[in-house]
Amino acid sequence: MDKYAEITRTIIGAAMRVHGALGPGFLESVYKRAMVLELGRAGLAVQVEKSLSVIYESAVVGDFTPDLLVERVIVVELKAVQAIATAHEVQTVHYLTATGIDVGLLLNFGAPSLQFKRKHPDRHSRYHPLYPVHPPPALPVHPVQKSPVVTKPLIDISRPLFTGSPHWPGDTDTSFRLSLRIAEGKPCNLGTLRLSVHNGTHADAPFHYNDRGTTIDALPPEHFVGPARVIDARGQASLHRGLFDGLSAADLAATPRILFRTDAWLDLDTFPSVWPLLDRDLPAWLASQGVTLMGLDLPSVDPLTNTDMAIHHLLDAANILILESLDLRDVVPGCYELIALPLKLRGGDGSPVRAVLRAM
Protein backbone atom coordinates (compact mmCIF):
# COMPACT_ATOMS: atom_id res chain seq x y z
CA MET A 1 0.00 0.00 0.00
CA ASP A 2 1.44 3.40 -0.94
CA LYS A 3 1.85 6.19 1.57
CA TYR A 4 -1.06 8.18 0.18
CA ALA A 5 -3.66 5.39 0.26
CA GLU A 6 -5.22 6.22 3.63
CA ILE A 7 -5.55 9.95 2.86
CA THR A 8 -6.97 9.11 -0.58
CA ARG A 9 -9.63 6.81 0.92
CA THR A 10 -10.58 9.47 3.45
CA ILE A 11 -10.98 12.12 0.74
CA ILE A 12 -13.11 9.81 -1.42
CA GLY A 13 -15.21 8.88 1.61
CA ALA A 14 -15.79 12.57 2.35
CA ALA A 15 -16.76 13.17 -1.28
CA MET A 16 -19.25 10.29 -1.17
CA ARG A 17 -20.89 11.78 1.91
CA VAL A 18 -21.13 15.19 0.23
CA HIS A 19 -22.58 13.70 -2.94
CA GLY A 20 -24.97 11.53 -0.96
CA ALA A 21 -26.25 14.55 0.94
CA LEU A 22 -26.36 17.12 -1.87
CA GLY A 23 -26.63 15.05 -5.03
CA PRO A 24 -25.82 16.54 -8.46
CA GLY A 25 -26.95 19.93 -9.73
CA PHE A 26 -25.01 22.51 -7.71
CA LEU A 27 -22.08 24.73 -8.62
CA GLU A 28 -18.55 23.51 -7.92
CA SER A 29 -18.22 26.18 -5.22
CA VAL A 30 -20.99 24.52 -3.19
CA TYR A 31 -19.26 21.14 -3.27
CA LYS A 32 -15.94 22.80 -2.46
CA ARG A 33 -17.29 24.37 0.74
CA ALA A 34 -18.94 21.08 1.75
CA MET A 35 -15.70 19.17 1.11
CA VAL A 36 -13.74 21.59 3.31
CA LEU A 37 -16.20 20.89 6.14
CA GLU A 38 -16.06 17.10 5.68
CA LEU A 39 -12.27 16.92 5.37
CA GLY A 40 -11.90 19.10 8.45
CA ARG A 41 -14.12 16.72 10.41
CA ALA A 42 -11.89 13.87 9.22
CA GLY A 43 -8.87 15.64 10.71
CA LEU A 44 -7.18 16.49 7.41
CA ALA A 45 -5.44 19.81 6.78
CA VAL A 46 -7.04 21.53 3.77
CA GLN A 47 -5.84 24.59 1.88
CA VAL A 48 -8.34 26.26 -0.46
CA GLU A 49 -7.03 27.71 -3.73
CA LYS A 50 -3.42 27.48 -2.58
CA SER A 51 -1.09 28.86 -5.27
CA LEU A 52 1.55 26.34 -6.42
CA SER A 53 4.62 27.22 -8.50
CA VAL A 54 4.86 25.82 -12.03
CA ILE A 55 8.40 24.61 -12.74
CA TYR A 56 9.98 24.51 -16.19
CA GLU A 57 13.61 23.40 -16.48
CA SER A 58 14.23 24.24 -12.81
CA ALA A 59 12.78 27.74 -13.19
CA VAL A 60 9.48 29.07 -11.82
CA VAL A 61 7.47 30.19 -14.84
CA GLY A 62 4.05 30.69 -13.31
CA ASP A 63 1.61 29.37 -10.80
CA PHE A 64 -1.33 26.96 -10.59
CA THR A 65 -4.18 27.16 -8.10
CA PRO A 66 -5.92 23.83 -7.38
CA ASP A 67 -9.38 23.72 -5.85
CA LEU A 68 -8.04 22.00 -2.73
CA LEU A 69 -4.63 20.96 -1.45
CA VAL A 70 -4.94 18.25 1.23
CA GLU A 71 -2.14 17.64 3.74
CA ARG A 72 0.13 19.56 1.32
CA VAL A 73 0.58 16.37 -0.73
CA ILE A 74 -2.66 15.71 -2.70
CA VAL A 75 -4.22 18.04 -5.24
CA VAL A 76 -8.04 17.76 -5.41
CA GLU A 77 -9.82 19.09 -8.48
CA LEU A 78 -13.63 19.34 -8.33
CA LYS A 79 -16.04 19.10 -11.25
CA ALA A 80 -19.83 19.33 -11.56
CA VAL A 81 -20.35 17.96 -15.05
CA GLN A 82 -22.24 15.03 -16.57
CA ALA A 83 -19.11 12.89 -16.80
CA ILE A 84 -15.35 13.17 -16.37
CA ALA A 85 -13.79 13.79 -19.78
CA THR A 86 -10.36 12.72 -21.00
CA ALA A 87 -9.42 16.40 -21.16
CA HIS A 88 -10.06 16.74 -17.41
CA GLU A 89 -7.78 13.77 -16.71
CA VAL A 90 -5.03 15.03 -19.00
CA GLN A 91 -5.22 18.49 -17.46
CA THR A 92 -4.88 17.06 -13.95
CA VAL A 93 -1.82 15.02 -14.98
CA HIS A 94 -0.21 18.12 -16.47
CA TYR A 95 -0.88 20.06 -13.26
CA LEU A 96 0.86 17.37 -11.21
CA THR A 97 3.81 17.11 -13.58
CA ALA A 98 4.36 20.87 -13.66
CA THR A 99 4.07 21.42 -9.89
CA GLY A 100 5.86 18.34 -8.58
CA ILE A 101 2.84 17.08 -6.59
CA ASP A 102 2.75 13.28 -6.54
CA VAL A 103 -0.99 12.56 -6.35
CA GLY A 104 -4.11 14.19 -7.72
CA LEU A 105 -7.77 13.33 -7.20
CA LEU A 106 -10.38 14.33 -9.76
CA LEU A 107 -13.88 14.34 -8.20
CA ASN A 108 -17.05 14.84 -10.22
CA PHE A 109 -20.27 15.65 -8.36
CA GLY A 110 -22.39 16.28 -11.45
CA ALA A 111 -23.22 12.63 -12.23
CA PRO A 112 -25.94 10.54 -10.50
CA SER A 113 -23.16 8.69 -8.64
CA LEU A 114 -19.89 10.27 -7.52
CA GLN A 115 -17.11 9.84 -10.09
CA PHE A 116 -13.48 9.89 -9.01
CA LYS A 117 -10.09 9.37 -10.67
CA ARG A 118 -6.70 9.18 -9.02
CA LYS A 119 -3.86 10.58 -11.09
CA HIS A 120 -0.06 10.45 -10.79
CA PRO A 121 2.49 12.23 -12.99
CA ASP A 122 4.76 9.19 -13.28
CA ARG A 123 2.02 6.70 -14.16
CA HIS A 124 0.44 8.46 -17.11
CA SER A 125 3.27 9.08 -19.52
CA ARG A 126 1.01 7.92 -22.37
CA TYR A 127 -0.78 11.27 -22.14
CA HIS A 128 0.47 14.09 -24.36
CA PRO A 129 -0.24 17.82 -24.24
CA LEU A 130 -3.71 18.70 -25.40
CA TYR A 131 -2.39 21.22 -27.94
CA PRO A 132 1.05 20.06 -29.17
CA VAL A 133 3.18 22.53 -31.14
CA HIS A 134 3.62 19.99 -33.96
CA PRO A 135 0.38 18.11 -34.58
CA PRO A 136 0.76 14.41 -35.32
CA PRO A 137 0.32 13.25 -38.92
CA ALA A 138 -3.22 12.46 -39.97
CA LEU A 139 -4.16 8.82 -39.52
CA PRO A 140 -6.46 6.88 -41.83
CA VAL A 141 -10.06 6.84 -40.67
CA HIS A 142 -11.47 3.39 -40.04
CA PRO A 143 -15.14 2.58 -39.40
CA VAL A 144 -15.96 2.59 -35.70
CA GLN A 145 -17.19 -0.75 -34.43
CA LYS A 146 -19.66 -0.30 -31.63
CA SER A 147 -19.16 -2.41 -28.55
CA PRO A 148 -22.08 -3.44 -26.39
CA VAL A 149 -22.42 -1.50 -23.15
CA VAL A 150 -21.48 -3.75 -20.26
CA THR A 151 -23.20 -3.06 -16.97
CA LYS A 152 -23.19 -5.11 -13.83
CA PRO A 153 -26.49 -6.90 -13.17
CA LEU A 154 -28.93 -5.69 -10.57
CA ILE A 155 -29.66 -7.86 -7.55
CA ASP A 156 -33.29 -7.62 -6.48
CA ILE A 157 -33.52 -7.42 -2.67
CA SER A 158 -37.26 -6.71 -2.48
CA ARG A 159 -39.85 -9.03 -0.99
CA PRO A 160 -42.87 -9.75 -3.21
CA LEU A 161 -46.24 -8.15 -2.49
CA PHE A 162 -49.33 -10.25 -3.15
CA THR A 163 -52.80 -10.76 -1.75
CA GLY A 164 -52.28 -12.21 1.70
CA SER A 165 -48.53 -11.50 1.81
CA PRO A 166 -47.08 -11.24 5.35
CA HIS A 167 -47.77 -8.00 7.20
CA TRP A 168 -47.47 -6.60 10.72
CA PRO A 169 -50.32 -7.97 12.87
CA GLY A 170 -53.10 -5.40 13.05
CA ASP A 171 -51.92 -3.44 9.98
CA THR A 172 -53.90 -3.28 6.75
CA ASP A 173 -53.23 -6.45 4.77
CA THR A 174 -52.20 -6.52 1.12
CA SER A 175 -54.92 -7.02 -1.46
CA PHE A 176 -54.54 -6.85 -5.23
CA ARG A 177 -57.32 -7.52 -7.74
CA LEU A 178 -58.14 -6.78 -11.35
CA SER A 179 -61.20 -4.55 -11.54
CA LEU A 180 -61.17 -4.77 -15.36
CA ARG A 181 -60.13 -7.77 -17.47
CA ILE A 182 -59.46 -8.08 -21.17
CA ALA A 183 -60.70 -11.67 -20.92
CA GLU A 184 -64.10 -10.27 -19.91
CA GLY A 185 -64.33 -7.97 -22.91
CA LYS A 186 -62.75 -4.86 -21.36
CA PRO A 187 -60.19 -2.79 -23.31
CA CYS A 188 -57.43 -3.37 -20.74
CA ASN A 189 -56.50 -5.08 -17.52
CA LEU A 190 -56.76 -2.64 -14.60
CA GLY A 191 -55.48 -3.44 -11.13
CA THR A 192 -56.47 -2.11 -7.70
CA LEU A 193 -54.05 -2.31 -4.77
CA ARG A 194 -54.75 -1.87 -1.04
CA LEU A 195 -52.06 -2.18 1.61
CA SER A 196 -50.24 -0.59 4.54
CA VAL A 197 -47.26 1.47 3.38
CA HIS A 198 -45.17 -0.73 5.71
CA ASN A 199 -46.00 -4.01 3.96
CA GLY A 200 -43.22 -5.71 2.09
CA THR A 201 -39.86 -4.02 1.56
CA HIS A 202 -40.32 -0.41 2.61
CA ALA A 203 -38.76 2.80 3.88
CA ASP A 204 -39.79 4.39 7.15
CA ALA A 205 -40.11 8.16 7.13
CA PRO A 206 -39.18 9.91 10.42
CA PHE A 207 -42.84 11.00 10.56
CA HIS A 208 -43.69 7.32 11.25
CA TYR A 209 -42.26 7.56 14.77
CA ASN A 210 -41.94 11.32 15.29
CA ASP A 211 -44.98 13.58 14.85
CA ARG A 212 -42.61 16.40 13.86
CA GLY A 213 -40.49 14.20 11.61
CA THR A 214 -40.03 14.51 7.86
CA THR A 215 -42.66 12.82 5.68
CA ILE A 216 -41.62 10.39 2.98
CA ASP A 217 -42.26 12.80 0.08
CA ALA A 218 -39.98 15.43 1.65
CA LEU A 219 -36.96 13.13 1.99
CA PRO A 220 -34.34 13.76 -0.74
CA PRO A 221 -34.23 10.68 -3.00
CA GLU A 222 -30.41 10.80 -2.89
CA HIS A 223 -30.58 9.30 0.60
CA PHE A 224 -31.81 6.05 -0.93
CA VAL A 225 -29.27 5.81 -3.76
CA GLY A 226 -25.52 5.33 -3.41
CA PRO A 227 -22.72 3.26 -1.90
CA ALA A 228 -23.83 0.65 0.63
CA ARG A 229 -22.22 -2.15 2.60
CA VAL A 230 -23.91 -5.47 3.40
CA ILE A 231 -22.84 -6.73 6.84
CA ASP A 232 -22.95 -10.45 7.65
CA ALA A 233 -25.00 -10.81 10.85
CA ARG A 234 -26.13 -14.40 10.34
CA GLY A 235 -26.39 -16.38 13.58
CA GLN A 236 -26.09 -13.26 15.75
CA ALA A 237 -28.38 -12.77 18.74
CA SER A 238 -28.16 -9.00 18.27
CA LEU A 239 -26.75 -6.41 15.88
CA HIS A 240 -23.67 -4.92 17.53
CA ARG A 241 -20.45 -2.99 16.91
CA GLY A 242 -18.39 -6.17 16.82
CA LEU A 243 -19.85 -6.93 13.38
CA PHE A 244 -17.69 -4.10 12.04
CA ASP A 245 -14.38 -5.41 13.37
CA GLY A 246 -11.73 -5.18 10.69
CA LEU A 247 -13.30 -2.18 8.96
CA SER A 248 -11.55 1.17 9.18
CA ALA A 249 -13.21 4.55 9.59
CA ALA A 250 -12.42 5.21 5.93
CA ASP A 251 -14.13 1.95 4.93
CA LEU A 252 -17.32 3.01 6.69
CA ALA A 253 -17.09 6.57 5.43
CA ALA A 254 -17.02 5.24 1.88
CA THR A 255 -20.30 3.35 2.39
CA PRO A 256 -22.71 5.51 4.44
CA ARG A 257 -25.56 3.03 3.93
CA ILE A 258 -25.41 -0.17 6.02
CA LEU A 259 -27.54 -3.26 5.34
CA PHE A 260 -27.64 -6.19 7.82
CA ARG A 261 -28.07 -9.70 6.48
CA THR A 262 -29.37 -11.87 9.35
CA ASP A 263 -31.24 -14.65 7.47
CA ALA A 264 -33.65 -14.65 10.43
CA TRP A 265 -36.69 -14.31 8.11
CA LEU A 266 -36.28 -16.67 5.17
CA ASP A 267 -39.90 -17.74 4.63
CA LEU A 268 -41.51 -15.19 2.29
CA ASP A 269 -45.02 -16.47 3.10
CA THR A 270 -45.09 -16.14 6.90
CA PHE A 271 -44.54 -13.33 9.39
CA PRO A 272 -41.93 -14.05 12.10
CA SER A 273 -42.50 -13.62 15.82
CA VAL A 274 -38.94 -12.92 17.01
CA TRP A 275 -35.81 -11.52 15.38
CA PRO A 276 -32.42 -10.01 16.32
CA LEU A 277 -32.44 -6.42 17.58
CA LEU A 278 -29.91 -3.58 17.52
CA ASP A 279 -27.79 -3.02 20.61
CA ARG A 280 -28.89 0.28 22.12
CA ASP A 281 -25.48 1.92 21.56
CA LEU A 282 -25.29 0.99 17.87
CA PRO A 283 -27.29 3.88 16.31
CA ALA A 284 -25.14 6.60 17.88
CA TRP A 285 -21.95 4.74 16.96
CA LEU A 286 -23.08 4.28 13.35
CA ALA A 287 -23.85 8.00 13.14
CA SER A 288 -20.35 8.79 14.43
CA GLN A 289 -18.97 6.75 11.51
CA GLY A 290 -20.94 8.76 8.95
CA VAL A 291 -23.78 6.25 8.39
CA THR A 292 -26.98 7.92 7.15
CA LEU A 293 -29.19 4.92 6.30
CA MET A 294 -29.60 1.47 7.81
CA GLY A 295 -31.51 -1.46 6.32
CA LEU A 296 -32.16 -5.00 7.42
CA ASP A 297 -33.88 -8.20 6.30
CA LEU A 298 -36.33 -8.06 9.22
CA PRO A 299 -39.86 -6.65 9.64
CA SER A 300 -38.73 -3.91 12.02
CA VAL A 301 -35.85 -2.55 14.06
CA ASP A 302 -38.10 -2.97 17.13
CA PRO A 303 -39.54 -6.24 18.46
CA LEU A 304 -43.05 -7.46 17.70
CA THR A 305 -44.05 -6.79 21.31
CA ASN A 306 -42.80 -3.18 21.43
CA THR A 307 -45.10 -0.38 22.50
CA ASP A 308 -42.74 2.62 22.39
CA MET A 309 -40.67 2.15 19.18
CA ALA A 310 -37.57 2.81 21.26
CA ILE A 311 -35.01 1.73 18.65
CA HIS A 312 -36.78 3.74 15.95
CA HIS A 313 -36.34 6.77 18.21
CA LEU A 314 -32.63 6.02 18.76
CA LEU A 315 -32.11 5.92 14.99
CA ASP A 316 -34.13 9.11 14.61
CA ALA A 317 -31.90 10.85 17.17
CA ALA A 318 -28.89 9.67 15.15
CA ASN A 319 -30.40 11.01 11.87
CA ILE A 320 -30.31 7.53 10.32
CA LEU A 321 -33.07 6.53 7.89
CA ILE A 322 -34.52 3.01 7.94
CA LEU A 323 -35.22 0.34 5.32
CA GLU A 324 -37.06 -2.76 6.55
CA SER A 325 -38.07 -6.18 5.20
CA LEU A 326 -35.23 -6.52 2.69
CA ASP A 327 -34.50 -9.89 1.05
CA LEU A 328 -30.73 -10.42 1.31
CA ARG A 329 -30.66 -14.22 1.04
CA ASP A 330 -28.65 -14.21 -2.20
CA VAL A 331 -26.35 -11.28 -1.40
CA VAL A 332 -22.70 -11.85 -0.56
CA PRO A 333 -21.58 -9.42 2.20
CA GLY A 334 -19.57 -6.56 0.73
CA CYS A 335 -19.87 -3.22 -1.06
CA TYR A 336 -22.63 -2.34 -3.51
CA GLU A 337 -24.58 0.52 -5.01
CA LEU A 338 -28.04 0.66 -3.41
CA ILE A 339 -31.13 1.92 -5.23
CA ALA A 340 -34.28 1.87 -3.07
CA LEU A 341 -36.49 4.78 -4.05
CA PRO A 342 -39.75 5.33 -2.14
CA LEU A 343 -42.96 6.65 -3.68
CA LYS A 344 -43.54 10.40 -3.54
CA LEU A 345 -46.53 9.91 -1.25
CA ARG A 346 -47.52 13.32 0.07
CA GLY A 347 -47.67 13.32 3.86
CA GLY A 348 -46.71 9.64 4.02
CA ASP A 349 -45.15 7.96 7.04
CA GLY A 350 -43.44 5.42 4.80
CA SER A 351 -43.52 3.79 1.38
CA PRO A 352 -42.96 0.49 -0.37
CA VAL A 353 -39.68 0.43 -2.33
CA ARG A 354 -38.25 -1.72 -5.09
CA ALA A 355 -34.78 -2.19 -3.66
CA VAL A 356 -31.87 -3.40 -5.76
CA LEU A 357 -28.11 -3.67 -5.38
CA ARG A 358 -25.34 -3.48 -7.97
CA ALA A 359 -21.79 -4.63 -7.26
CA MET A 360 -19.29 -1.75 -7.15
Specify the pLDDT at position 86.
87
Specify the pLDDT at position 97.
83
Q: Is the pLDDT of residue 77 over 60?
A: yes
From 94, 198, 208, 223, active-site residue: 208
How far is the CA of 144 from the CAs of 86, 141, 147, 148, in angstroms?
A: 19, 9, 9, 13
Q: Is the pLDDT of residue 356 over 50?
A: yes
Q: Is the pLDDT of residue 85 over 70?
A: yes
Ranking 49-53, 293-297, 310-314 by mean pLDDT, the lowest is 49-53
Q: Is the pLDDT of residue 46 over 60?
A: yes
Region 333-358: mean pLDDT is 97
Banded model confidence at residue 218, pLDDT cuts 50, 70, 90: very high
Active site residue 208: yes
The CATH number assigned to the domain with range 156-359 reads: 3.50.30.50
> What is the sign, positive or negative, of the torsion defined by CA atoms of 125, 128, 129, 130?
negative
Query: Which residue did the predictor score with more confidence, 169 or 100?
Result: 169
Convert the pLDDT of each residue in 90-142 to its tens digit: 888 888 888 888 899 999 999 999 999 998 885 444 433 333 334 444 455 55
pTM beyond 0.75, yes or no: no
Specify the pLDDT at position 151.
67
Q: Is the pLDDT of residue 27 over 80?
A: yes
> Which residues in the chain are classed under CATH 3.40.1350?
5-119
Query: Which one of 1.10.405, 3.30.200, 1.10.3470, 3.40.1350 gives the CATH number of domain 5-119?
Result: 3.40.1350
> Which residues in the chain are classed under CATH 3.50.30.50?
156-359
